Structure 1
Amino acid sequence: MTDTDSDAEPTDTEPETASDTTAAGAGGDTETLLVSSLAESSGKTAVALSLARLARAEGDSVGYMKPKGTRLQSNVGKTLDEDPLLARELLDLEAEMHDLEPVVYSPTFIEQAIRGREEPAELRERVREAFETLAADRDRMFVEGGGRYDVGGIVELADADIADLLDARVLLIAPYEVPADVDDVIAAAERFGDRLGGVVFNNVSDAAFDGLETDVIPFLEDRGIPVHGVLPSERELSGVTVAELADELGATTLVDEGQDAYVERFAVGAMGADSALRRFRRTKNAAVITGGDRAEIHTAALEAPGVRCLILTGGHRPSGAILGQASEKGVPILAVRTDTLATVERAEDVIRSGRTRDEATVDRMQRLLSDHAAVDAILE
């Protein structure tokens, strides 16, 4: 938004600018926190809902909004994001879905926006009006960003734009594995500017924890980027069990052992056996997705300690030797009739969906925040 000089001549654009700059007034004295993230499936939904419940436990009346629905159940039509549905249930909100999710950010919507058939000013007004409705008589509003902080830039509704529109402070949820990840945090901090209230690192492994605490956090705070918490990795928040994955994929289970193991990521077996073995040995809590007729890949996967299951595509059944080896090692084998690409896409959707989509998951995140984050500092 552009500052205007009090002595400047009035223009036709002043009423619209005033509307944008007074969006915060829509909620009166409502405190607004926008929970944004560097990456999809970062725990943003669980964090937003957990903070709302913690604030409500302190006596505040709370509201929730996700201006851009990005986690959609279908690509066209009147699709809905599942996150506002969960928020409405867990926070006991009597709110209409068109207010909780005023913009359905579907592939169809994006195509129309690129073709110039969506007007950013009208979309901003839609978001502002929905916010006014939801924020009425609320002490606090918790606004959830899109999948990543930069989603929505096509229509000038990236998370930083929404923070300006709603006069919101921003909490950034960030993953961390290696020091180079700090580049992404700094880039986001520059984008949010003074609106950034702080960062919470989520799903941090034991191996990465010490370096984050001793080196990265002081580095960021020396640059004016507060870090409000480091949440350790918990397998219940990081993936789904093999049994759940099999059910979601509609897979036939060929080897039953080990179905309670958690899968957090996928590796595609599309290379030679030697390359596959080297790659599989570097992964952890992974499902290997490959053709059911790739016996050499099956063997390599079963030799890697970090592989939790095999998903065999194309409707092919492996040899009895492979089945026997998997059973002996306690590695389940699932078989699907779809091809490898379609299976990978569906499996990744299942992993994303399993991270923050029920009350039990939010309960766990609420405990993590209480134990490992400065909740008071986040909410103040």
Structure 2
Amino acid sequence: MNTLVTSLEESTGKTAVALALARLAREDGDSVGYMKPKGTRLESTVGKTLDEDPLLARELLELDADVADLEPVVYSPTFIEQAIRGRENPDALSERVREAFETLADGTDRMFLEGGGRLDLGGIVDLTDPDVAELLDARALLIAPYETPADVDDVLAAARPFGDRLDGVLFNNVADAAFDQLETDVVPFLEGKGVTVHGVLPRERTLAGVTAAELADELGATALVEEGLDAYVERFSVGAMGGDSALRHFRRTKNAAVITGGDRADVHTAALEAPGIHCLILTGGHRPSSAVLGKAAEKEVPILMVQTDTLTTIERAEDVVRSGRTRDERTVDQMESLLSDHANVEAILRG
């Protein structure tokens, strides 16, 4: 039995779901294997570019497997450029993926495959997630976000290329405000369209963002105010407007960090008045006034100072949240609990 965990977009929880399902299957007595045919979450270490997810899988599932098999195609910018220039042979790549899969699958009852960042990624070498499902005879579990009914269009469009290989949809990281409508209206609608919904997982704060302390560490920031560093940040707001406009904007934002110049006292003050702002990230190496520091300490809103400019800081901060620095054994443990409580795990594993 082969299960491909795929998704509509990046950062939907594919890795956590795939590894949690693998561990649940193993608890049921199956021997399991893991593979990510296209390495997309790339980090450079010791001169090699590797995907972090297979490394985590090898550790948590205690796999005796070569990284070159766990990740047969390193889908890096250089690889993409070479493929576009005709220097990568799609047939040879498919054969490499197939051979790696056969090596990993030997002696296992179940294989869990993790898709790329998006299900259509890999099209330039005929290795989209639907292509991989066909190549490796896998059933696809589609991980989807949900905020509004309009998102159903995306789910149906994503389901279509898998055809009969689609096992079903798992909605993940669903906010409380959208939960009832999804279960009451959307799930029955999709089931009526022939799309099985295996579960709706509620938003778990510790899985949806990173702490201010983790942000500080990843950005190389100096914590000018350390109170509140354990607060979670899920999104960012840029303080580029005047004080009054900024306050109106910040009050509509939840679980956010404000990124702004260290010399924008009006924006600092506005941010500290908004209950949904959990952190200030001040750019350009400018220290704020002692009054701002004092107020932040009083309200337990950490202030981080970085030397980089605002645009660079935004890009780096968003990458930290998007890449999910909390992805570790704790994350997989939490996902196991969410799946057990809110998904039909038996149906997913039965395929």
TM-score by length of 2: 0.96
Bigger mean CA deviation after superposition, 115-124 or 348-357: 348-357
The answer to whether the 8 Å contact 1:313/1:338 transfers is yes
- Give the aligned partner of residue 214 of structure 1: 184
Q: Match of 1:301, as an amino acid?
A: A
The alignment partner of 1:167 has SS state of: coil
Kindly report which structure 2 residues correspond to 1:96-135, keeping only aligned pairs within 5 A, or say none: 96-135=66-105
In structure 2, C-alpha distance between the alignment counterparts of 1:242 and 1:351, rounded to whole Å: 11
After TM superposition, which residue ranges in structure 1, 4 or more long, deviate above 4 angstroms?
none
Q: Pick the structure with greater CA Rg.
A: 1
In structure 2, C-alpha distance between the alignment counterparts of 1:105 and 1:75, rounded to whole Å: 16
In the alignment, structure 1 residue 158 sits paired with structure 2 residue 148: no
The alignment partner of 1:79 has SS state of: strand
In the alignment, structure 1 residue 286 sits paired with structure 2 residue 256: yes
Bigger mean CA deviation after superposition, 66-75 or 55-64: 66-75
Deviations 1:95-115 (A, max 9, x none): 000000000011111122222
Kindly report which structure 2 residues correspond to 1:263-342, keeping only aligned pairs within 5 A, or say none: 263-342=233-312
C-alpha spacing 1:125/1:235, structure 2 compared with 1 (3 Å): same
Q: Match of 2:30, as an amino acid?
A: D
Aligned residues: 350
In structure 2, C-alpha distance between the alignment counterparts of 1:76 and 1:112, rounded to whole Å: 22
The answer to whether the 8 Å contact 2:69/2:100 transfers is yes
The answer to whether the 8 Å contact 1:41/1:355 transfers is no
In structure 1, C-alpha distance between the alignment counterparts of 2:73 and 2:245, rounded to whole Å: 45
In the alignment, structure 1 residue 230 sits paired with structure 2 residue 196: no
Deviations 1:44-101 (A, max 9, x none): 1000000001111111110000000000013996300010001001111100000000
The alignment partner of 1:202 has SS state of: strand
* Structure 1: gaps (5+ residues): 1-30
In structure 2, C-alpha distance between the alignment counterparts of 1:144 and 1:44, rounded to whole Å: 7
Bigger mean CA deviation after superposition, 253-262 or 46-55: 253-262
- Give the aligned partner of residue 354 of structure 1: 324
Matched-pair identity in %: 78
- 1:300 Cα offset (Å): 2.2
In structure 1, C-alpha distance between the alignment counterparts of 2:306 and 2:325, rounded to whole Å: 23
The alignment partner of 2:258 has SS state of: strand
In the alignment, structure 1 residue 194 sits paired with structure 2 residue 184: no
- Give the aligned partner of residue 51 of structure 1: 21
The answer to whether the 8 Å contact 1:50/1:365 transfers is yes
- Give the aligned partner of residue 255 of structure 1: 225
In the alignment, structure 1 residue 38 sits paired with structure 2 residue 12: no
- Give the aligned partner of residue 181 of structure 1: 151
The answer to whether the 8 Å contact 1:203/1:234 transfers is yes
Q: Match of 2:218, as an amino acid?
A: E
The answer to whether the 8 Å contact 1:76/1:108 transfers is no
In structure 1, C-alpha distance between the alignment counterparts of 2:283 and 2:196, rounded to whole Å: 46
- 1:272 Cα offset (Å): 3.5
The alignment partner of 2:42 has SS state of: coil
In the alignment, structure 1 residue 85 sits paired with structure 2 residue 71: no
1:144 aligned residue (92, 100, 114): 114
- 1:328 Cα offset (Å): 2.3
TM-score by length of 1: 0.89
The answer to whether the 8 Å contact 2:11/2:324 transfers is no
The alignment partner of 2:240 has SS state of: coil
- 1:305 Cα offset (Å): 1.5
* Structure 2: gaps (5+ residues): none
Bigger mean CA deviation after superposition, 274-283 or 157-166: 274-283
In structure 2, C-alpha distance between the alignment counterparts of 1:94 and 1:177, rounded to whole Å: 40
The alignment partner of 2:50 has SS state of: coil
In structure 2, C-alpha distance between the alignment counterparts of 1:304 and 1:183, rounded to whole Å: 35
- Give the aligned partner of residue 209 of structure 2: 239
C-alpha spacing 1:202/1:344, structure 2 compared with 1 (3 Å): same
The answer to whether the 8 Å contact 1:128/1:166 transfers is yes
- 1:276 Cα offset (Å): 2.7
C-alpha spacing 1:273/1:109, structure 2 compared with 1 (3 Å): farther
In structure 2, C-alpha distance between the alignment counterparts of 1:188 and 1:42, rounded to whole Å: 14
Bigger mean CA deviation after superposition, 216-225 or 337-346: 337-346
In structure 1, C-alpha distance between the alignment counterparts of 2:242 and 2:134, rounded to whole Å: 51
In structure 2, C-alpha distance between the alignment counterparts of 1:190 and 1:281, rounded to whole Å: 40
Superposition RMSD in Å: 1.5
In structure 1, C-alpha distance between the alignment counterparts of 2:290 and 2:84, rounded to whole Å: 53
The answer to whether the 8 Å contact 2:261/2:286 transfers is yes
Q: Match of 1:44, as an amino acid?
A: K
Deviations 1:268-311 (A, max 9, x none): 22234344333322221111111111222222222222110000
- 1:355 Cα offset (Å): 5.5
The answer to whether the 8 Å contact 2:210/2:326 transfers is no
